[in-house]
Amino acid sequence: MTPDECAALLAYVGRLDPRAAHRDPAETAGQLATWCDLLRDVPATAPDGWDAAAVARAHITGSPYPILPVDITRPWTAHRRALLARHTDPRPNVDPDDVEGYQQAIRAQRDAVATGAVEPTASRELAGGPHPQLAHLIARALPAAAAAALAPFRPLRAAREAAALAGRPDALNVPCTWCRAPVGEPCRRRTSPKRAEQQGGWSRRSTVHPSRLDAATEQANRQERAA
């Protein structure tokens, strides 16, 4: 709240509850200074219906005690928490490869929400992972540094990206004739049954079978010739 907003709020409070209004100008000035100081970080109005004057009015109509700055700061803290809980950092409009600038922009957005300056941005939660097409877009939007940090946790994607960067064909473009992994699926190996009566399962390989890579290379060459 600016000093002007604070003075207006205090005048409003004094009108509703004469006990809060001082007769002595020095006392009035002191009270105003205290309120300005304590309500500095509380906005007069903010998204989701925050209105400091309405909060003051609710206190005066609902409590036998004279209003104090804390009767406004405490509700604001709760309102601010609700605003932040609704906020899911949207992608800022800065170069995603500028990691520091990107983080600063995210922080600035959060601060703006926390001070009531802007509406929180709520995006739909992605339950059970995004649609593959969407995931592709999200991955492309990842800052390079973040993608590099994630690589160990996404070995398959990292391998495909590395292949694309190196100009090598993507082995996952073709099915594997060795382990019969379909297009887009990693190669797999049979795991041996733990007991004789159990069936063995499949486990993903982090690399592809050489014959599959050959097939992918052959297909890429064929496509190149056809083009």
Query: What are 14's two structure tokens?
Result: 């004094």
Phi, then psi, of 65 in degrees rounded to 5: -95, 145
Phi, then psi, of 203 in degrees rounded to 5: -130, 150
CA distance 27 to 14: 13
Q: Which residues here bind Zn ion, judged by CB under 5 A?
A: 176, 178-179, 181, 187, 209
List the helix and strand counts (H, then E) for the chain: 9, 4
For 45, the 3-state DSSP assignment is strand
Q: Which is nearer to Zn ion, 46 or 213 (CB)?
A: 213
Q: How crowded is residue 4: how many other Cβ atoms within 10 Å of its Cβ?
A: 10
- Smallest distance from the beta carbon of 178 to Zn ion, in angstroms? 4
Q: Which is nearer to Zn ion, 6 or 174 (CB)?
A: 174
Q: Which is nearer to Zn ion, 161 or 214 (CB)?
A: 214
- Smallest distance from the beta carbon of 196 to Zn ion, in angstroms? 26
- Smallest distance from the beta carbon of 204 to Zn ion, in angstroms? 10
- Smallest distance from the beta carbon of 150 to Zn ion, in angstroms? 25
CA distance 150 to 133: 19
- Smallest distance from the beta carbon of 152 to Zn ion, in angstroms? 22
Q: Which is nearer to Zn ion, 80 or 160 (CB)?
A: 160
Query: What are 41's two structure tokens?
Result: 């970080």
- Crossing angle for the helix pair 52-62 and 3-16, to the nearest 10 degrees: 20
- Crossing angle for the helix pair 70-86 and 52-62, to the nearest 10 degrees: 130
- Smallest distance from the beta carbon of 216 to Zn ion, in angstroms? 11
Q: Which is nearer to Zn ion, 91 or 157 (CB)?
A: 157
Q: How many CA atoms lie within 13 A of 74 on its CB side?
A: 7
For residue 202, the cross-strand partners are: 190
Q: Which is nearer to Zn ion, 2 or 207 (CB)?
A: 207
